[in-house]
């Protein structure tokens, strides 16, 4: 189990994490949600031993992060959002280098190559790979040491749906192998597809933590979002504005809101129905 207890971290006057407590069960996929700057990446870098905490305690599989950082690094791996490998080396050279750095076993290297479908591009220079292939190499490098805990920091950013699905499928495979996975993403559909449990962080604070099943079964009424072109006078109207260009409404008030916009010559870009409670929670939590 990963137990984060009352953890705080500040950069100068900016509180990146404020008294956060989260528990993550072994062998699960844990979704970490939050808008940019919410504190997700700070938490991931702390869990991976790259940053120190100001207060609180973190225990990872019975290891204390403060005193046993090196042991924790040995059993965990972070798949960074930015591609972290050598462009001037081939796929094989990258794999070989990072394997030797971590003293990886041959069977683990082979498994990482196979799971990420890199067999056919081993001799290709990393800089010449497609976006999806680069993402897969980035992930494979993180799996070479057969980590028990894997931190995925938005691993599907900028990918087409096919590559995205491939990566999500491979993450589900890692779960089957007994890995504990902490996954961050902006895509609710991804979280809904793979995660067992979810936490939403906003402005350094934990807003909600629950199982995905609980969040999705607490069905509420459908929410409708009206996206409009920005106009100053929108703020003066009696509308439920989430931000300058988004109005949150429901089926009962939809036509009334549209009429109001029409009367004030405010153009509508799109009307979006959402039935996802996760998205609802996320939007409400981050408002």
Partner 1 sequence: MFFAMIKKEFILVFRDKHALLALFIMPAIFILIMSISLKDQFSHANVSFNISIKTHDKSDLATKFIEDIQEDKSINILKQNADILLIIPENYFKKENIKLIINVQNTLKSDLIEILKAKLLKKFIDIKLKSIAKSLKGLSPKASKSLSSVDISSEKLFIVKYFKDGSIPSSTQQSVPSWIVFGMFFVIIPISTIYINEKKQNTLVRLNSMNVSIFKMTISKVIPYIVINQIQVWIMIGVGIFIVPLFSTPALVINGSFISITLLSIAVSISAIGLANLIAVSATSSEQATTIGGILNILLGAIGGVMIPKFIMPESMQILSNISPMSWALDGFLKIFLKNEGIFSIAKESLVLIIFGIITLIISMIILNFKIKKGL
Residue nearer to partner 1 on the CB measure, 42 or 156: 42
Backbone angles phi, psi at 69, to 5 degrees: -55, -45
State in angstroms the smallest separation of the CB of 140 from partner 1.
13
Q: Does the footprint of partner 1 cover residue 100 (CB under 8 A)?
A: yes
Contacts of 1 by beta carbon, 8 Å cutoff, 6+ apart: 23, 24, 25, 26, 59, 61
> Of these, 116, 145, 209, 277, which contacts partner 1 (CB under 8 A)?
145
Nearest distance from C-beta of residue 101 to partner 1, angstroms = 5
10 binds partner 1 (CB under 8 A): no
Token pair in block for residue 53: 């905490």
With a CB cutoff of 8 Å and minimum separation 6, the contacts of 38 are 201, 202, 203, 204, 286
- Using rule CB under 8 A, residue 49 touches partner 1: yes
Provide, rounded to whole angstroms, the least separation between the CB of residue 265 and partner 1. Answer: 46
Q: Is 86 in the site for partner 1 (CB under 8 A)?
A: yes
Q: How far, CA to CA in Å, does 17 sit from each of 35, 76, 175, 213?
A: 14, 21, 28, 27
Rule CB under 8 A: say whether 3 interacts with partner 1: no
If one asks whether residue 152 binds partner 1 (CB under 8 A), the answer comes out as no
Q: Cβ of residue 86: shortest distance to partner 1, in angstroms?
A: 6
Per rule CB under 8 A, is residue 93 in the interface with partner 1? yes
Strands 55-60 and 63-64: antiparallel
User: Rounded to 5 degrees, what are φ and ψ at 248?
Assistant: -100, 130
Residues in contact with partner 1, counted by CB under 8 A, come to a total of 30
Q: Which of 1, 101, 172, 229 binds partner 1 (CB under 8 A)?
A: 101
Give the sheet arrangement for strand 268-274, strand by strand: 241-243, 246-249, 223-228, 268-274
CB of 215 to partner 1, least distance (A): 31
The answer to the question of residue 97 lying near partner 1 (CB under 8 A) is yes
User: Which residue of 22, 29, 85, 266 would you call a contact of partner 1, by CB under 8 A?
Assistant: 85
Can residue 67 be called a binding residue for partner 1 (CB under 8 A)? no
- Candidates 95-103, 169-177, 227-235, 279-287: pick the segment binding partner 1 (CB under 8 A): 95-103
Beta strand pairing status for 63-64 and 29-33?
Answer: unpaired
The answer to the question of residue 98 lying near partner 1 (CB under 8 A) is yes
Among 31, 34, 39, 80, binds partner 1 (CB under 8 A): 80
Residue from 89, 237, 258, 268 touching partner 1 (CB under 8 A): that is 89
Write down the least CB distance from residue 114 to partner 1, Å.
21
Query: Contact, 233 vs 281, CB < 8 A?
Result: no
- Going by their DSSP bridges, the two strands 180-184 and 149-153 should be labelled as parallel
CA distance 155 to 186: 10
Residue 254 to residue 223: CA distance in whole angstroms: 10
Residues 154 and 79: their CA atoms lie apart, in Å, by 9
Using CB under 8 A, list all residues that contact partner 1. Answer: 45, 48-52, 70, 73-74, 77-78, 80, 82-89, 93, 96-98, 100-103, 141, 145
């Amino acid at each position: 189990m990963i137990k984060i207890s009352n953890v705080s971290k500040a950069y100068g006057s900016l509180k990146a994490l404020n008294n956060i407590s989260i528990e993550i069960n072994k062998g699960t996929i844990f979704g970490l949600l939050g808008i940019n700057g919410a504190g997700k990446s700070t938490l991931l870098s702390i869990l991976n031993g790259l940053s120190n905490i100001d207060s609180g305690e973190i225990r990872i599989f019975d290891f204390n992060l403060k005193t046993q950082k090196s042991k924790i690094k040995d059993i965990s791996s972070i798949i960074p959002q930015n591609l972290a490998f050598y462009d001037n080396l081939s796929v094989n050279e990258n794999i070989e280098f990072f394997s030797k750095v971590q003293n990886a076993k041959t069977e683990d290297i082979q498994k990482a190559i196979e799971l990420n479908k890199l067999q056919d591009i081993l001799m290709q220079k990393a800089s010449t790979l497609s976006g999806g292939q680069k993402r897969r190499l980035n992930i494979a490098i993180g799996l070479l040491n057969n980590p028990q805990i894997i931190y995925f920091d938005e691993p599907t950013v900028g990918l087409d749906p096919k590559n995205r699905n491939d990566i999500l499928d491979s993450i589900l495979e890692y779960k089957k192998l007994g890995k504990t996975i902490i996954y961050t993403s902006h895509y609710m559909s991804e979280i809904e597809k793979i995660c067992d449990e979810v936490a939403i962080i906003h402005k350094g604070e934990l807003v909600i933590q629950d199982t995905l099943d609980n969040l999705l079964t607490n069905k509420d009424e459908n929410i409708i979002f009206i996206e409009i072109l920005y106009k100053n006078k929108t703020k003066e109207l009696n509308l439920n504005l989430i931000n300058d260009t988004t109005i949150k409404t429901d089926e009962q008030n939809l036509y009334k809101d549209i009429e109001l916009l029409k009367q004030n010559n405010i153009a509508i870009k799109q009307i979006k129905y959402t039935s996802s409670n996760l998205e609802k929670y996320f939007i409400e939590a981050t408002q």
